[in-house]
Amino acid sequence: MAQDYDSPRNKDEDEESLQALGKSAQNSSSDIDDDENAIAEDYELPGADLSNEDASVTVIPMQGDEFICSECYLVKHRSQLAYTTADGQPVCEECAA
């Protein structure tokens, strides 16, 4: 909707719109607080007590096409092998860069 900004303003409309904004701000602030509380309940702080949690992880043994980098000690795929040192230790492309 087009509005003429040069026309004189009506103070009653301004006051009504301010009151409406104040009411909507009060209603929305309670919704925001509820959302923040819900998010905070699911968040776990570092160092929290996890002794009652079950941490079951399936460990897959190293495959035939993988190697352990002698620099970063991570298991990498053979396609990431940059070179092998003089003593036979493999080095990945990330560590070689």
Q: Residue 10 — very low, low, confident or very high, per pLDDT cuts 50/70/90? A: low
Residue 49 lies in a domain: no
Collapse the DSSP code of 5 into the 3-class scheme (helix H, G, I; strand E, B; otherwise coil) and give the result. Answer: coil
d(CA 80, CA 89): 14
The mean pLDDT of the chain is 80
Residue 74 lies in a domain: yes
Residue 8 lies in a domain: no
Q: Residue 30 — very low, low, confident or very high, per pLDDT cuts 50/70/90? A: low
Sign for the pseudo-dihedral over CA of 45, 50, 53, 57 = positive
Beta bridge partners of 68: 75
Residue 48 lies in a domain: no
In tens, the pLDDT along 67-76 reads 999 999 999 9
Residue 5 lies in a domain: no
Residue 77 lies in a domain: yes
Q: Higher model confidence: residue 61 or residue 49?
A: 61
For residue 29, pLDDT over 60 is answered with: no
For residue 90, pLDDT over 60 is answered with: yes
Residue 82 lies in a domain: yes
Q: What is the pLDDT of residue 31?
A: 52
CA 22: distance to chain centroid?
Answer: 33
Question: Range of 84's domain?
Answer: 61-96
CATH of the domain at 83: 3.30.60.130
Structural domains in the chain (count) = 1
